[in-house]
Structure 1
Amino acid sequence: MACRISELVLGCREPEVLSRFWCEVLDFVELGREEDGSIEIGPREGFGGAQPTLFLSRREEPEPGKPRLHIDVNATDRDQEEELERLLKLGARPADIGQTGEESWHVLMDPEGNEFCLLKTRLNPL
Structure 2
Amino acid sequence: MVSRISDLIDKTPGSAQLSRFWCKALGCEVSATDETGVAISGASNAPTILFEPSSDSFGDNSLHLDLCPTDRSQADELERLVAPGATKTDVVPSGSWHVLADPDGDKFCLMAKRIPAEPEDFHD
- The two structures have a TM-score, normalised by structure 1, of 0.46
More RCO (CA 8 Å, sep 6+): 1
